């Protein structure tokens, strides 16, 4: 989560406290400041100077890690995307062989992350269009990996006879179904906030139940 405090202390230490140290500037603090600046003001308006001022570092410190603001935007989106991919794959792997358990696990971890990482999700989805073609393609590749994990779960569920999703003209459109589920789960970040009546875990369970119902999941035999 983002640290509290004023602009001078968002990295935890001022640049003048770092000047005599040999360690490089804190890259995670730069990422955090960039996420917050881009979320609050939008990528086109924010300058490198704005980001580094928020960290209490000099403008030149950024170039120890990133060649440009464009590269920084790609890095922060790619880093949060890679972690989401890792968590989704781990959740499905640990859920066992039942597609119903796999789908519930996937949705739970996806929703919890989007409840907790609202600023990151906002930047990743709103500012992605500013990336150049090559960097945009890189992010889209990762998003397709996540989509394909979900499509594979739906496919296994249909093959095993435990999912009966809606059909269009007699066909099951599992990619479209997966995209609909992902869109639904992603947009929880647009309105959920801590302190509401439902906790993150309760939200995750609710969305998992909705996902299972939407694909016609059959109850587990007892």
C-alpha span between 35 and 2 (Å, rounded):
9
pLDDT at 5: 41
pLDDT at 154: 98
Give yes or no for a contact between 114 and 189, defined as CB atoms under 8 angstroms apart: yes
C-alpha span between 206 and 108 (Å, rounded):
9
φ, ψ of residue 200 to 5 degrees: the values are -55, -45
pLDDT at 4: 36
Residues of the chain with pLDDT under 70: 1-25, 219-222
Sign, CA torsion 83/1/67/133: positive
pLDDT at 86: 96
Give yes or no for a contact between 96 and 102, defined as CB atoms under 8 angstroms apart: yes
φ, ψ of residue 171 to 5 degrees: the values are -120, 145
User: Structure tokens of 220?
Assistant: 């587990």
Q: Selecting from 1.10.150.20, 1.10.357.10, 1.20.1600.10, 1.10.3720.10, what CATH number does the domain 69-214 have? A: 1.10.357.10
Give yes or no for a contact between 108 and 205, defined as CB atoms under 8 angstroms apart: yes
Provide the 10 A C-beta neighbour count for residue 162. 20
User: Structure tokens of 126?
Assistant: 């709103």
Per-residue pLDDT of 138-182, as tens digits, reads 999 999 999 999 999 999 999 999 999 999 999 999 999 999 999
DSSP sequence for 96-135? -S-HHHHHHHHHHHHHHHHHH-HHHHHHHHHSGGGS-HHH
Per-residue pLDDT of 185-202, as tens digits, reads 999 999 998 888 899 999
Helices 118-126 and 27-41, interaxial angle, to 10°?
70
Give yes or no for a contact between 15 and 61, defined as CB atoms under 8 angstroms apart: yes
Residue ranges matching CATH 1.10.357.10 in the chain: 69-214
pLDDT at 220: 58
């Amino acid at each position: 989560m983002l640290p509290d405090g004023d602009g001078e202390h968002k990295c935890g230490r001022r640049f003048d406290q770092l000047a005599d140290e040999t360690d490089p500037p804190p890259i995670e603090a730069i990422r955090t400041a960039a996420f917050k600046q881009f979320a609050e003001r939008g990528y086109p308006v924010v300058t490198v100077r704005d980001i580094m001022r928020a960290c209490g570092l000099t403008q030149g410190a950024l170039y120890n890690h990133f060649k440009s603001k464009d590269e920084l935007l790609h890095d922060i989106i790619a880093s949060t995307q890679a972690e989401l991919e890792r968590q989704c794959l781990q959740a499905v792997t640990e859920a066992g062989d039942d597609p119903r358990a796999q789908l519930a696990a996937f949705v739970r971890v996806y929703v919890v992350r989007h409840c907790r990482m609202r600023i990151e999700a906002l930047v990743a989805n709103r500012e992605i269009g500013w990336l150049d073609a090559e960097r945009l393609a890189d992010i889209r590749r990762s998003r397709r990996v996540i989509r394909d994990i979900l499509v594979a779960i739906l496919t296994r569920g249909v093959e095993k006879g435990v999912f009966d999703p809606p059909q269009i003209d007699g066909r099951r459109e599992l990619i479209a179904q997966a995209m609909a589920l992902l869109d639904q789960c992603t947009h929880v970040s647009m309105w959920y906030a801590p302190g509401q009546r439902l906790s993150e875990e309760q939200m995750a369970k609710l969305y998992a139940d909705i996902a299972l119902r939407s694909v016609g999941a059959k109850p587990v035999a007892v």
